[in-house]
């Protein structure tokens, strides 16, 4: 039988309880939380916060920032709120249960981070909550791009995690809404493996963008030096 998922994931400064949420803490989401450029950001928005992972990771690195996590699924929103309240950043992290399409704050955000649903044409997942988390029916790319363009400051950035094909689709949609790629991190499991995920940073200026590469593992299966340096502020045993 498969081993059951751990009900919590402990980081150096906070713990993510995940027994009430459809999707659990995963390596690529942790990379996104550690990689997104938070310097100078005073207001950060995590769209589809789930457990609150990205909200808390960015709050740790940006002590100057107020962080808001938006989540549509009630159980996930409640668990994210509980995770935030138990963290050292409770005073700076707010969780809102609301569709991003209906989220109307009075002040814009300097940074938006998002690990969105990306299964466009897959068969529905068996559990409804997991289906919501994995499928784009509840958050179409068009809605995500429109909301982000509306919520960002003029110099703000969106940092988003997607597989390669879905990245191509989202780039087209984002450009139609005035958001253009400025940086892209290609994530591989190891040298010689296919692209695992892409983290793309978008801004309002349309120009050539930089590309970077991250290998999670060395050929012997150990974590790469780059991965360890990136996640060392978070992972307990790095």
Name all domains of the chain by residue range, CATH numbers in brackets. 26-178 (3.40.50.150)
Weakest-pLDDT range from 2-6, 25-29, 65-69, 174-178:
2-6
Token duo for residue 74: 């009630």
Alpha-carbon distance of 152 to 72, in angstroms, equals 20
Examine the pLDDT at 45 and tell me if it is beyond 50.
yes
Give the number of other Cβ atoms within 10 Å of residue 78's Cβ. 15
Share of residues in the chain with pLDDT > 90 (%) = 84
> Could you tell me the pLDDT band of residue 208, with boundaries at 50, 70 and 90?
confident
Pick the closest to residue 59 from 82, 79, 33 (CA basis). 33
Examine the pLDDT at 2 and tell me if it is beyond 90.
no
Share of residues in the chain with pLDDT > 70 (%) = 89
Alpha-carbon distance of 23 to 39, in angstroms, equals 28
Examine the pLDDT at 138 and tell me if it is beyond 80.
no
Query: What does the pLDDT average to over 136-152?
Result: 89
Determine the longest span between alpha carbons in the chain, in angstroms: 51
> Could you tell me the pLDDT band of residue 130, with boundaries at 50, 70 and 90?
very low
pLDDT reported for residue 4 = 53
Alpha-carbon distance of 203 to 185, in angstroms, equals 15
Alpha-carbon distance of 79 to 61, in angstroms, equals 22
Alpha-carbon distance of 22 to 138, in angstroms, equals 14
Look at 4 and 71; give whichever has higher pLDDT. Answer: 71
What mean pLDDT is reported for the chain? Answer: 91
Alpha-carbon distance of 15 to 198, in angstroms, equals 26
Q: Is the pTM of this model over 0.85?
A: yes
Query: What does the pLDDT average to over 76-95?
Result: 98
Query: What does the pLDDT average to over 216-220?
Result: 97
pLDDT reported for residue 137 = 57
């Amino acid at each position: 039988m498969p081993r059951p998922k751990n009900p919590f994931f402990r980081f150096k400064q906070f713990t993510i309880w995940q027994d009430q949420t459809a999707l659990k803490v995963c390596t690529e989401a942790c990379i996104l939380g550690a990689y997104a450029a938070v310097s100078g950001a005073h207001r950060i928005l995590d769209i589809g916060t789930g457990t609150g992972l990205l909200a808390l990771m960015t709050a740790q690195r940006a002590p100057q920032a107020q962080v808001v996590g938006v989540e549509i699924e009630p159980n996930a929103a409640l668990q994210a709120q509980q995770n935030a309240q138990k963290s050292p950043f409770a005073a700076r992290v707010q969780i809102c249960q609301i569709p991003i399409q209906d989220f109307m704050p009075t002040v814009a955000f300097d940074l938006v981070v998002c690990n969105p649903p990306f299964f466009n044409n897959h068969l529905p997942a068996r559990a409804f909550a997991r289906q919501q988390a994995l499928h784009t029916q509840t958050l179409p790319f068009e809605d995500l791009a429109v909301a982000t363009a509306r919520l960002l400051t003029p110099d703000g950035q969106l940092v988003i995690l997607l597989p390669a094909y879905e990245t191509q689709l989202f780039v087209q949609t984002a450009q139609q809404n005035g958001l253009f790629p400025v940086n892209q991190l290609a994530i591989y499991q190891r040298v010689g493996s296919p692209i695992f995920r892409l983290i793309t940073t978008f801004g309002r200026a349309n120009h050539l963008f930089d590309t970077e590469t991250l290998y999670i593992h060395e050929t012997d299966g150990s974590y790469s030096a780059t991965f360890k340096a990136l996640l060392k502020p978070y992972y307990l045993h790095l």
